[in-house]
Amino acid sequence: MKGKQRSYLKGLANGLKAKMQVGKGGLSPEFYSQLEVLLENEELVKINVLKNAPVQAREIQEEILAQTGAEFVSQLGNKLVIYRSSSEKPTIVLP
């Protein structure tokens, strides 16, 4: 992903609320199934990593990207933003 595209997605994510949370349960199969649905429907997802999560936000980010094939957009504190174009109905057009 190019810098201009990442900046565009950051701008779109600015107004988003976190749709998912990672807590003490960590990354479960249920978490991934919900995340897959969100990525397919909304493409741009903000994830909140709670303080009681078993690992830090950076490690969680790496695992999520590896499991889902999504692309990293930004991380600000404990909030992650990831993007993956929908295979059926892409709604976000990257510059």
Domains in the chain, start-ordered, CATH in brackets?
Answer: 3-83 (3.30.110.60)
Predicted pLDDT of residue 1: 78
- pLDDT(88) > 90: no
Q: What is the pTM of this model?
A: 0.90
pLDDT in tens, 14-63: 999 999 999 998 899 999 999 999 999 999 999 999 999 998 999 999 99
pLDDT band at 89 (very low <50, low <70, confident <90, very high): confident
CB burial of 19-52 (b: ≥16 within 10 Å; e: otherwise) equals: ebebeeeebeeebeeebeebbeebbbbbbbbeee
